[in-house]
Amino acid sequence: MAKCFCVTGTCIPEKNYMIDISDRIGQIIERYIQRGQYFTMNRARQYGKTTTLFLLERALRENYVVLSLSFEATDEYFQSMASLAEGLVMDIAKCLRAQNVDNDIVATWCEPVSEKFPMKSLGMKISTLCRSCDKKIVLMIDEVDKSSDNQIFLSFLGLLREKYLKWQQGKDVTFQSVILAGVYDIKTLRIKLHPQEETKYNSPWNVAADFDIDMSFSAKEIEAMLKEYEADYHTGMDVAAISRLLYDYTSGYPYLVSRICQITDERIVGGEMLESRAKAWTKEGMLLAVKWLLKEPNTLFDDMTKKLLDYPGLKEMIQSILFGGVGFPFKRETPLIDLGVTFGFLKENQGIVAVANRIFEIQLYETFLAEMAINGEKMYTESDLDKGGLVWRCKIKM
């Protein structure tokens, strides 16, 4: 079966054209897993977290038992501490069986949790499991911030933290490493425990190490992916130039890179576009793909619109950057800036806050202009915008 570009779900090396992240996986294992670190892999939407976890699991399974879970569609787990404990017991049992862990160990793990003290009971189960297995155990939970706005989730984090600290002191046995993946950094996640209670910061995950591995794609990594594609289709493309163009527009944002490539491969070729792959994989073809991307509805842009509605202060800041040429000093400690970076909208550029990539610049610019027109607000002229260089950056020139 021929390979294709993928922007939905997990990318599989055997099925999809994708960036080779084996070096990144090796760094995670060496710097975090082997050292017994607990950490949050927090990156923006569609930034390759799920694929990274999948490939990390494949690499770890030879030497570790990997418990790979997801909190996607598990709302019922967080009705009570007992339901969370029972849900985790079921999910982990499934992982243990899939990795051929001894039946007696699985049977012990599946024994009922205490109804009166479910978290304490779960903690004892974890210790027993880790003592019984002949391999160290790594726990991964994807989409962890789906259910991070309640006390039950905090209790679970508190259990992991307590066991980690006792393990460090030689008083307990627990997971070798815990990886929580989501958009938000669980260490500093703002939550509301009760409707009347003031917003506060989450702290039970302060044992976690900072995860500082760059998950964006470099121009060289994009080039390696396109060389694989070129070996299959012999388009004659200038691989280095196309890779650089892709990087210039996306700054290596994984979804944007893959989607532009997918549009070029599946939409630009034929019909009223360009009649051959040879013509599609050119600068002209790439820019047609960028225009197509900016016109289509997609989950990334939908999420961007929703986030700006939810956080009007962030929206005002981005408008000030784009239309007012305001230069905000880059400080992650500033809540709005931290929020913009967390969502993948903003980045640092020579100490100043900047929009993360040219695609987002164009998308936000056009969205804001459309809103101004609909609301009858002052429209910025091209000469106004050109003073800050925005027109030059946002126009797609063939």
Residue 198: is its pLDDT beyond 70? no
What does the pLDDT look like over 347-379, one tens digit per residue?
999 999 999 999 999 999 999 999 988 888 766
- The identity of residue 340, as a single letter, is G
- For 266, the token pair is 């599946």
The pLDDT of residue 153 is 87
With pLDDT > 70 as the criterion, what percentage of the chain qualifies? 89
The SS3 call for residue 271 is coil
Residue ranges of alpha helices (H) inside 217-350 are 219-233, 239-250, 254-263, 277-280, 283-295, 299-310, 312-324, 335-342
**Are the CB atoms for 143 and 3 separated by under 8 Å?**
no
Question: Pairing between strand 136-142 and 200-201?
Answer: unpaired
**Are the CB atoms for 65 and 138 separated by under 8 Å?**
yes
Confidence band for 191, pLDDT divided at 50, 70 and 90: very low
What is the rounded distance in angstroms from the CA atom of residue 247 to the CA atom of residue 122? 46
Confidence band for 188, pLDDT divided at 50, 70 and 90: low
In 3D space, the residue among 154, 160, 156 whose CA is nearest the CA of residue 197 turns out to be 154
The SS3 call for residue 16 is strand
Residue 303: is its pLDDT beyond 80? yes
User: Rounded to the nearest 5 degrees, what angle is found at the Cα of 196, between the Cα atoms of 78 and 73?
Assistant: 20
What is the rounded distance in angstroms from the CA atom of residue 373 to the CA atom of residue 350? 33
In 3D space, the residue among 304, 215, 300 whose CA is nearest the CA of residue 254 turns out to be 215
Residue 169: is its pLDDT beyond 80? yes
Q: Which class for 87: exposed (0-12), middle (13-18), buried (19 or more C-beta within 10 A)?
A: middle
Q: Is the pTM of this model over 0.95?
A: no
Report how far apart the first and last C-alpha atoms of the chain are (Å, whole number): 35
Confidence band for 184, pLDDT divided at 50, 70 and 90: confident
What does the pLDDT look like over 69-109, one tens digit per residue?
999 988 899 999 999 999 999 999 999 999 999 999 999 99
User: Tokens 């396109």 appear where?
Assistant: 226
The pLDDT of residue 199 is 47
Q: What is the mean pLDDT of the chain?
A: 91
Strand partners, 69: 141
**Are the CB atoms for 363 and 301 separated by under 8 Å?**
yes
The SS3 call for residue 326 is coil
In 3D space, the residue among 247, 259, 243 whose CA is nearest the CA of residue 291 turns out to be 259
Residues whose CB is less than 8 angstroms from the CB of residue 49 and which lie 6 or more positions away in sequence, other chains included: 41, 43, 142, 181, 182, 215
The pLDDT of residue 397 is 53
What does the pLDDT look like over 110-139, one tens digit per residue?
999 999 999 999 999 999 999 999 999 999
What is the distance of C-alpha 349 from the center of its chain? 21
In 3D space, the residue among 78, 106, 3, 46 whose CA is nearest the CA of residue 259 turns out to be 46
Mean pLDDT for 224-252 is 98
- b/e per residue 327-366 (b: at least 16 CB within 10 A): ebebeeeeebbebbbbbbbbbeeeeebbbbbbbbbbbbbe
| Domain edges within the chain | 20-201, 219-295, 299-394
Mean pLDDT for 143-150 is 74
What is the rounded distance in angstroms from the CA atom of residue 166 to the CA atom of residue 180? 20
Question: Pairing between strand 177-182 and 38-42?
Answer: parallel
The pLDDT of residue 192 is 41
The pLDDT of residue 16 is 98
The torsion angle over the Cα atoms of residues 324, 325, 328 and 332, rounded to 10 degrees, is 100
Residue 194: is its pLDDT beyond 50? no
Residue ranges of alpha helices (H) inside the chain are 22-28, 49-60, 81-98, 103-109, 118-132, 151-168, 219-233, 239-250, 254-263, 277-280, 283-295, 299-310, 312-324, 335-342, 358-375, 382-386, 390-394
CATH, domain range 20-201: 3.40.50
- For 175, the token pair is 């997971």
The pLDDT of residue 205 is 86
The SS3 call for residue 349 is strand
Higher pLDDT, 188 or 360: 360
What is the rounded distance in angstroms from the CA atom of residue 365 to the CA atom of residue 391? 10
Confidence band for 189, pLDDT divided at 50, 70 and 90: low
